[in-house]
Amino acid sequence: MKHLFRVGTRTSRLAMCQTELVVAMLRTHAPDTEFEIVPIVTQGDRDRTSSLHVIGGKGVFVKELERELEDGTIDFAAHSLKDVQPRLPDGLVIGCTPTRESPFDCLLSAAPLASIDDLPCCARVGTNSQRRQAQLLHHRPDLEIVPIRGNIDTRIRRIETERLDAIVLAEAGLNRLRPDTAGLHRLTMRDVLLPAAGQGAMAVECRADDAETLGLLARIDDAETRMAVTVERDFMRAIGGNCTLPIGAYARFADADTDASPAVLTLDAMIAVPDGSRIYRARSTARMATTGIADVSNALVDAVVRDLHAAGSPL
């Protein structure tokens, strides 16, 4: 195995943190290997004011890194999986998905909340995600959704500067980065907001023909995470990949504290209109087959897509 791997990453503090986590995991398995972190500024980082669906969706955070992979200037790149498009460029693959952090969203608020219902009438809530906006407004149509972009620290400061009652953030980012949230209160949205496909997971992307890098990355791949996010991404591909409607997808194995077999996989899916006036949900469960994840994923995705169509969703 070669002794130096070049690792591409966005320049944001969270992206650098996640890349360092991946490198630290790899070093435990390959202590004599060197890793050079290569910061790359993406379009999504350069333009922090435009709405994501206007400038190209979450894919704007990874395109430049993928070009560097294709050119051979880096060996692999660590991403937040929810930023990676359902269809990768030819010649690139996800080499590994380490163990997933929390897939859920949370509210960060100036006042303590026991539930979203404790927000005051017409509360101002900051988020730039149509998925979050639609589900919040479905539950609380009175809320005023304030578009906010920027890194986690910037969005936290907007609570004060924009006089927001709360903002919505991914729990995984808070858990990994541990920003200063003194004086603020955190409320999980686990039972309110269905996550984005891949949320909470990291994806390490590399070239499909790079056997050495693939062999290295395989050492930190988490099989359960990979199977769950495979189902979520298969669902996204099935409904058109870059669909601009608010969409959520979350696949998981049966909880350990239930009587269900741990080999049972459940997929929850959601599609909505942006104002939250209509939300369509579907759930499907399948037992893991000896033929592998592909057959299970096909069965789960086919079932939820069929149910969403039957419900009249705008797929």
How far lies 21's CA from each of 167, 233, 289, in Å? 26, 23, 33
Alpha-carbon distances, residue 311 vs 57, 280, 297 (angstroms): 27, 7, 21
Count the Cβ atoms, other than its own, within 10 Å of residue 37: 15
Query: Phi first, then psi: what are they for 218, rounded to 5°?
Result: -60, -20
Contacts of 194 (CB under 8 A, 6+ apart): 131, 135, 248, 249, 250, 268, 269, 270, 281
Which tokens in the block code for residue 196?
């984005």
The catalytically annotated residue of 32, 45, 75, 83 is: 83
What residue type is assigned to position 150 of the chain? Answer: G
What is the C-alpha separation between 206 and 38, in angstroms, rounded?
Answer: 14
| 83 is annotated as an active-site residue | yes
Active-site positions?
A: 83
